Each structure stands twice: as structure tokens, then as C-alpha cells.
A = this chain, B = another copy of it.
Amino acid sequence: MGSPRRVYVGAFAHCKSLEELDICDAGAIGVGESGRIEFIERDVDDISSVLEKQGWKGVKVVKIKDHGFFFPGFIDTHIHAPQYPNAGIFGKTTLIDWLDKYTFPMEASFSSLARARQVYNRIVNRTLSHGTTTAAYYATVHVPATNLLADICHAKHQRAFIGRVCMDTMSPPNYRDTSPEDAVAATRATIQHITSLDPSHSLLIPIITPRFAPSCTPACLSALGRLHKETNLPIQTHIAENHAELDLVRRTFPSHPSYTAVYDDHGLLGPRTVLAHAVHLSPAEVALIRARGAKVSHCPASNTALTSGAAKVRELLLEDITIGLGTDVSGGYSPSVLVAARHAVMVSRHVAMGSGEGEGDAAKLTEAEVLWLATRGGARALGLEERVGGFEVGMEWDAQMVVLGEGVGVDGEGGEAEGPVDVFGWESWEERIAKWLYNGDDRNTAAVWVKGELVHKTQAFSG
């Protein structure tokens, strides 16, 4: 079982804390057959002496190229796999009309397994190519298609949370659960299938997925709360994305003090709950989320594209809320977490500008901070912080090899770089990583590993 032992040699970077990007320009990371990191050496100038010291002589070495570095795999805490064909198609809609016009019709079409096979293969390939080693997927209501998504993630060895969407009200007649019992039974069927693929849930994890409060009856929410209590499986849902939705929740759940309280009152708010968006929360709701230890998935591109709002990430961080990043395809148009991190910087600037002169400066997120959200933050949000999101001995090798422009013309003529990032040679490591954050894309992600296994590579990789 597992891959043979390998040593990854060269520069690496990962987030040590929210503020601190730890960069090692000559490292060696040994990964054992279990896919776990067994040693990390820094200041390596002679790899053979490292191998000798570790007793790993003869083991395969994967070397980084110039201007490249190993980085933890990205964690997408919120992505709707069936919506991928709609990426970039949203026009001037906002949440509720966007659901009716684009989303429900597309998702409903996943009653066809052929459709599901085509789209799910594509999106899993895409997310892997963008360095997403863990994704928390929403599927659709359909059990066969949801199980197929699990099969595809299993086959491609992506770490994935697979959520069969539950919705028994305010949904199209041809695309909904017919009863709470139906929602639970269908969810159980997917849990069973996922567990048959991966009995210990080491890479594939079922996740209980009420779409959002307005699309579930109280009975359905309660039944899913009980299912969580019984199984201790994680939960994902949406919260406080836009104003019309807040109104809808107030009308639909008039006796509950807040949107957050709706989930709490139905047993759905706990340390294993991931709440997407969290754009418009009251202080009382933030306090309740913190008290329950629930997590937030920040989806900056989606929130801007659908004119939902700008989430106050700094405020949430200061309140000790755990936050990860979500691409929220297709509310967000890009399946890349790197792009989501870029948007997180940009949205934080708008939050800063909206807060009045000067004062808002603290709202600005740094490059290091958004990369923390994209890795460590996401891992914490999904309860995987002991296993992925950084490079530590004992953690699993979910990683990407990032290569930056290598065509710097030594003759001064400015030869072409291979990817979208131009490195001129004088940049500091921090500056190279900033260049990658802002202009990089899947061409810079030369190889991707999940739990030690190579799951994606480009022609730039010859490992």
C-alpha cells in the first residue's frame, strides 16, 4: 500500500501562522510509504549526506527546478461540482434569481449519469490541476450522481468531502426531496457508498449537506441534525450570503432569533459545521458561531460576482472564528483556490475602503494571510489541521510543486517564460510568491500530490 518513499528536495514554503510565511530555500522533506512526512531538513547543501543521515540512501529524489518551490496543496472549503459548466455565467443576477435561472436547471440535469460523468471528471481534473488537494464538494440531490462523484475523487485520489444536497422545500418540483425522510435516506445511501469506497474515511468523507435554511423544512433540518448526532459526520451549508436571503430566512423562520440560530436550534451548528459566506452576520451570530466552534468558508469571488456583499474577514479572524477559502463554483467563476486567495486580497481592500478614511486599513489581508486561509485555514475549517495544510513531521504529503518563469533572458533580450509569471531574478522569495499569487495559474503547478501519491503533473514536471 502507498507510494514508495520519496525525498522532495529544494525550496519549500508554507504558512507557519496567519502572519508568517515560512520559506526555506534549501530543504529536503522525506515522505514515507504511508504518505506521511517523516523528516524535514533545512539548509541542505548536500542531499546525499541527508539521505545517509536518515538511512534513506537509494530512495527516489524529486528535485525542484530553479525559481520553484513546494507548497502545501490548496483546500477548497466550498465548491459546487455540478455547477462547473456555469462558471462565468451569471450576468447581473443575485443569489435567488441566480439559483432559479442558472443553478437549479443545471443541477437538475444530473439525473443523467452521463452528464454527471462528463462534468465531474472535468471539475476534479481541473481542481487537481490548480493544486486543490482537498475539496468540500456539494453534489446534487441525486444519489447515483453523488456516488459517481465519490467514485471519481476516489479514482483520481483527491481528498474530498462529498455532500449530497438536501432540500425539501422552495425548490423546483423536479429537483427536490419529497420529504425529510427521503432526504435522510438518500444521504444515508451516499454515506454508505462512500464508506464502502474508503471505510476509514482517510481521503473520502461524507458530509451532511442541507442546501441552506430556506430550502429545508424544520423537520428536514432536525432530521439532518439527528443524523449528524448519530454519525458525527461533518456538516456544510450556506449562511448570510445576501440581503434577500436574510429576509427570506426571517419570513420562513420567524420564531428563531437569527439565521445562525436556525441552524443551532436544529442541531446543525457545531465544531464540524462549515458555513459558507457569512457576509451579513450580527455580532450575536458571530458570538454564537464562536461559542459552537463552527467554521466559515470565505468565498470572495462569488460574493462580489453575485453582488452579495463583502465579508469582513478581519473582524471574524479577530473574533477567533476559523476561516478557510472557497471558490464557490459557480457563484465564483474560477475553480482555482489561488484565484480565490487573490480575490480575498481584493475584497479585503473594498472592505477597507468601505470602512471610512484610514480606519479600514486593518481590514486589508496580506499575501501571507490569504495563503494561510487557502491552506492551514481550510484544513482547520474541515478538521484536518493535524493532517494537511502545512509541512510538519507526521502530516500527510498533500503538496504542489510550483515553478515560476524560467526563461529569463541572460542575454538581456527577455526570453519567454513558460508560464504567466515573469521572474527577473532579483526578486526576494516573498516577492516571487506574491507574483505567483497575483499572476500565477495552473501552468505554474507542475505537480500535485495527495497523501504522497502523484495525482497531477504537467510537462514541466519530470519526477
Chain A residues at the B interface, C-beta cutoff of 8 Å: 84-85, 87-89, 91-92, 114, 117-122, 125-126, 243, 301, 304-305, 307, 309-310, 333-334, 345-346, 349-350, 352-354, 357, 361, 364, 366-367, 409, 412-414, 416, 420, 422, 424, 426-427, 431, 434-439, 441-442
Contact = CB atoms under 8 A, between A and B. Distances in A.
A307 B117 contact: no
A164 B118 CA distance: 53
8 contacts: A85-B426, A87-B422, A88-B431, A91-B367, A92-B361, A122-B409, A307-B349, A333-B439
A99 to B, nearest CB: 18
Given A434-B89, A441-B441, A305 B346 contact: yes
A354 B354 CA distance: 7
Report copies per complex: 2
Given A333-B439, A366-B91, A439-B88, A349 B117 contact: no
Contacts of A439: 87-88, 333-334
A304 B363 CA distance: 13
A113 to B, nearest CB: 9
Contact of A84 (B126, B349, B413, B422): B422
Closest 6 CB pairs of A and B: A88-B438, A121-B414, A122-B414, A333-B438, A88-B435, A350-B350
A412 B118 contact: yes
A38 to B, nearest CB: 34
Contacts of A366: 91-92
Contacts of A85: 422, 424, 426-427
Contact of A307 (B120, B353, B413): B353
Contacts of A352: 307
Contact of A350 (B117, B121, B304, B409): B304
A461 B357 CA distance: 50
B413 A121 contact: yes
Given A121-B414, A424-B118, A364 B92 contact: yes
A334 B441 CA distance: 12
Contacts of A122: 409, 414, 422
Nearest to A308: B353
A288 to B, nearest CB: 25
Nearest to A364: B92
Contact of A431 (B89, B367, B422, B427): B89
Contacts of A422: 84-85, 87, 122, 126
Given A350-B304, A422-B126, A414 B117 contact: yes
B357 A243 contact: yes
Nearest to A122: B414
Contacts of A304: 346, 349-350
Given A117-B414, A119-B414, A353-B310, A87 B438 contact: yes
B414 A125 contact: yes
A125 B407 CA distance: 13
Contacts of A88: 431, 434-439
Contacts of A420: 441-442
A118 B414 contact: yes
Nearest to A88: B438
A118 B413 contact: yes
Contacts of A117: 412-414
Contacts of A87: 422, 435, 438-439
Contacts of A435: 87-89
A305 B344 CA distance: 11
A324 to B, nearest CB: 21
A125 to B, nearest CB: 7
A195 to B, nearest CB: 26
A20 to B, nearest CB: 15
A304 B416 CA distance: 29
A333 B437 CA distance: 10
Nearest to A307: B349
A448 to B, nearest CB: 15
Contacts of A416: 125
Residue of A346, A435, A436, A441 with most chain B CB atoms under a 10 A cut-off: A346
